[in-house]
Structure 1
Amino acid sequence: MKKNILISSFDMAIGGVERSLIGLLNQIDYEKYDVDLMLFKHEGDFFPFIPSGPTLLPEIPLYSSFRNPIYQIAKEGHFSIAISRVMAKYIGSFYGKMKNIDEPGYLTIQYGWELTNRFLPKLNKEYDVAIGFLWPHYFVSEKVRAKKRIGWIHTDYSNIHVNKKLDARIWNKLDKIVAVSEGCSKTFLNIYPDLKEKTTVIENILSPEFIREQANAEDPKEIQKKRGKTTLVTVGRLTYAKGLDDAVRACKVLVNAGYNIEWYVVGYGPLETDLENLINELELQDRFFLLGKKTNPYPYIKACDIYVQPSRYEGKAVTIREAQILGKPVIITNFPTAKSQACDGHDAIITPLDIDSIVTAIRTLIEDKTIRDRLIANVLRMDYGNESEIQKLYKLIES
């Protein structure tokens, strides 16, 4: 008899977590498992890429409101949710100031769930396994009847700020915890060592064949290849974590030093205006380009000479592996989980987390063809396909 599986997440907006979810859904054996997919909101540029295998559950209005502005939630009559969201925002901000936290975003999300949880409905169906794919895991731990509950970690816990007491309460309600990299698991267990026995690693599932196929699907019109010019590309949300302000400043140093470069960023996010202002301030309008969100980022990666990931922290950056699959020399900053993503000097350059070091790494790859060619040759020899990771999930389901 088939086991009933529930997988839940927020929506299918463009992002690494969502690409990872698509990879997982594409690999599940639907002859073996009946899978329901619970998306709180049926939207996002990746929504059309959901395969036919899972059953998409209907939206539940109180859950779909999580992505809406507070005034809209109140306008729709969900006053308890709206008031709870306002309280969460202020509590998160207050707690952040008390702890000298610059980025209280995770706290706001956490308190948002904690305060609204009592007003949210439960699912009626019982499942053999309920999987929460995106933190925080209030939904699968408290709103779903399941014999086994599994929650995913996609981020580097050494660089996020949460209320640990509330967080631990939810993690302890899960039967298994899945981190997307060894580095991600290590930083999580440094915070919660008591959860070691229930924590395992399942990497984001990538198909090299699909990535190469998508890379050839179109030409990126914004990128014009010119003799003597070096094209840099970064893919990621425009957030503090991605370190794109450092990228802009590194670009300025390189331009001032006489390097003929153009740097393109594929992605969108809350810091777009701040980055645009910085680009204008440093007079880089013809050198550093924010291209916005792209449903298919692979042609842009394919078009670059060097792929750069200047992140301050990552759980497992899918884009790094995608660039390697496309045969690109890669530079990544030495965020805490970097060494679980690449081998310095072999399939990437891992550089310290500062502007001067990013500049030095880029200069090295521009000037030293031997190093550049060695990185390219090494990534082309590697088999980065990891579709077999799905077997680890099957083992968790069946154990």
Structure 2
Amino acid sequence: MKKVLFFIPNLMHGGAEKVLVNLVNNLDRNKYDIIVQTIFDEGVNKKYLKKDIKYKYIFKKLFRGSTTLFKLCSPRFLYKYLIKEKYDIVVSYLEGPTARIVSGCPSKETKKVSWIHIELNDENLLSTGFRSFEEAKNCYESYDKVICVSNTVKQIFEDVSGIKNNVEVLYNTNETEDIVGRSMEDVEDIEFDKNTINICSVGKIIEKKGYYRLAQIHKKLIDEGLKHNIYVIGIGEDEDRIRKYLKDNKLEDTYHLIGFRDNPYKYVAKCDLFVCSSYREGFSTAVTESLVVGTPVVSTLCSGAQELLGYNNEYGLIVENSEEGIYKGLKKLLEDKELLEYYKKKAAERGSFFSKEKTVAAVEKMLDEI
């Protein structure tokens, strides 16, 4: 039995944290002794870990300046004092500090894996959490495997880092059966208007998710007489800016920030369309989940979009990553009910491709062969 550690900063409400919990919950307990370790003991996703998953943490609370503090020490020093135990495989499940710490593993018997979830578009992004780009490159070169969540993420990582050996793509694990089951639950806190098109999105309300520009697009469409509602499920630092815009433009009755929900699937399933307005993505968990519940998707052209929706818009509509692109895509689907219905059928068809069984099997194959 292989002893495998998954190391991540915390288990808060991000996509990577969520899919890590999905993955470890479904790995074969007869083959792997699984431990999840966080730097900070915080996050809503911690409660979803199955009881037989060993969990430990380093610090009880997140504190300001932790990334800078970690940079003062060498990766080897940090690994020795923060990881401590011996493992067969150690996985850094996020870029940055955990990737730097795990790279300091001194044992040649321990295999090291680094998971990349986002587009590391330049040397500055790639070296986040490291002292320099050179240090980041050296650390990533020390890994036995670098796993990217999409082909685009892989291509960008290889181009920026120059590292091409042992880099591969493994898709995120989603609890597909659970998602479908929970999507059938009733929504009691919102009464969706059945006489108009209801659009939803799920994600952190931060700038890179594009929810402010989505509000501007919403206004333009409303001003043109294209009635619709938008529901954004999530929380984040961009909320106040968006709420002010909605208030100033009298859009509070049609653009709704409804906050975090334990079960976003039931809301997504009841909506007519899902929109991904992001400037950047790795491989959108929310888009994948929307396809699983059969809600059609319009997405900006960002990492993973074509792998999810097809290179020729076979399973959903991919638009230029701009305000104009999103506007044209939403307008097209608001005006063409037949096309919207077509993508509803194609969404459910595509959702089955990203089944839990397939993605878990691919990860287990990697762990067995490393």
Aligned position for 1:268: 235
Counterpart in the other structure of 2:102: 140
**Alignment: residue pair count:** 354
Unaligned runs of 5+ in 2: 128-132
The corresponding residue for 1:172 is: 141
Unaligned 5+ segments in structure 1 are: 71-81, 86-108
SS in 1 for 2:345: helix
Aligned partners of 2:147, 2:10: CA distance in 1, in Å?
20
Distance in 1, Cα, partners of 2:188 & 2:118: 30
User: What is the CA distance between 1:197 and its match in structure 2?
Assistant: 1.6
* Higher mean C-alpha displacement, 281-290 vs 253-262: 281-290
CA–CA separation in structure 2 for the residues paired with 1:221 and 1:285: 17
Structure 2 SS opposite 1:60: strand
1:398 is aligned to: 368
The reply to whether residue 182 of structure 1 matches residue 145 of structure 2 is: no
What is the TM-score normalised by the length of structure 2? 0.89
Q: Do 1:206 and 1:387's aligned partners in 2 also have CA atoms closer than 8 Å?
A: no
User: What is the CA–CA distance in structure 2 between the aligned matches of 1:228 and 1:363, rounded to whole Å?
Assistant: 17
Which residue of structure 2 aligns with residue 96 of structure 1?
none
Q: Is residue 2:164 matched to residue 1:196?
A: yes
**Cα distance, 1:4–1:357 mapped onto 2, change above 3 Å:** same
Question: 1:129 corresponds to which residue?
Answer: 89
- 1:216–1:140: structure 2 CA closer, same or farther, 3 Å change rule? same
- Equivalent residue runs for 1:90-169 within 5 Å: 109=67, 111=68, 113-115=70-72, 120=78, 121-136=81-96, 137-142=99-104, 145=107, 147-158=110-121, 161-163=125-127, 164-169=133-138
Aligned to 2:12: 13
Say whether residues 1:60 and 2:58 are aligned partners.
yes
For 1:23, the aligned partner's letter is N
SS at match of 1:43: coil
Alpha-carbon distance change, 56 to 332 in structure 1, aligned in 2, over 3 angstroms: same
- 2:278 counterpart residue number: 311
Farther off after superposition, 119-128 or 275-284: 119-128
Q: Which amino acid letter does the alignment assign opposite residue 157 of structure 1?
A: L
Q: How does 1:68-87 map to 2 (within 5 A)?
A: 68=63, 70=64, 85=66
Instruction: Kindly indicate whether the alpha-carbon contact (under 8 Å) linking 1:219 and 1:299 is maintained by their aligned counterparts in 2.
Output: yes
The answer to whether the 8 A contact 1:220-1:299 is kept is no
Deviation at 1:313, TM superposition (A): 0.8
RMSD of Structure 2 on Structure 1 (CA): 2.1
Once residues 263 and 23 of structure 1 are traced to their aligned partners in structure 2, the CA distance between those partners, rounded to angstroms, is 28
Tell me by how many angstroms 1:162 deviates. Answer: 4.2
Amino acid across the alignment from 1:178: I
1:285-326 deviation per Cα after TM superposition (whole angstroms, max 9, x unaligned): 111111121222111111211100011011000111111111
Give the partner amino acid of 2:336: D
Q: Which amino acid aligns with 2:338?
A: T
Counterpart CA distance in 2 for 1:326 and 1:126 is 41
Q: State the partner residue of 2:223.
A: 256
Q: Counterpart in 2 of 1:94?
A: none
C-alpha deviations, 1:225-262, integer Å up to 9, x for none? 22422111011111121111110100000110112211
Name 2:50's counterpart in structure 1.
51
Q: Deviation digits for residues 114-170 of structure 1, max 9, x if unmatched?
A: 235577424332111001111121222226756100010000122773442232122
Report if the CA contact (8 A) 1:122-1:144 is conserved. Answer: no
Q: What's the counterpart of residue 346 of structure 1?
A: 314
Aligned CA distance change for structure 1 residues 185 and 375 (closer, same or farther; 3 Å): same
The answer (yes or no) to whether the contact 2:297–2:347 under 8 Å persists in 1 is no
What is the SS of the residue equivalent to 1:283?
coil
- Which among 340, 345, 358 is matched to residue 388 of structure 1? 358
Match for 1:147: what amino acid? T
Could you tell me the TM-score, scaled by structure 1's length? 0.83
Q: What's the secondary structure of 2:87's corresponding residue?
A: strand
Taking the aligned partners of 1:232 and 1:198, their CA distance within structure 2 comes to 40
Q: Within 5 Å, which residues of 2 pair with 1:358-369?
A: 358-369=326-337
> Once the two structures are aligned, what percentage of the paired residues are identical?
22
Inter-partner Cα distance in structure 1 for 2:106 and 2:12? 24
- How far does the alpha carbon of each residue in 1:196-241 deviate from its partner, in whole angstroms, 9 at most, with x for none? 121111100123211111212341513x222422111011111121
1:214 aligns with 2:182: yes
Give the 3-state SS of the residue equivalent to 1:358 in structure 2: helix
CA distance in 1, matches of 2:202, 2:58: 32
Provide the C-alpha distance between the structure 2 equivalents of 1:126 and 1:182, rounded to a whole number of angstroms: 32
**Whole-Å Cα distance in 2 between the matches of residues 226 and 393 of structure 1?**
42
8 Å CA contact 2:180–2:293 kept in 1: the answer is: yes
Compute the displacement of 1:386 (Å).
Answer: 4.2
* Structure 1 Cα separation of the partners of residues 84 and 262 of structure 2: 35
Q: Structure 1 residues 308 and 277, CA, compared in 2 at 3 Å: closer, same or farther?
A: same
Aligned to 2:130: none
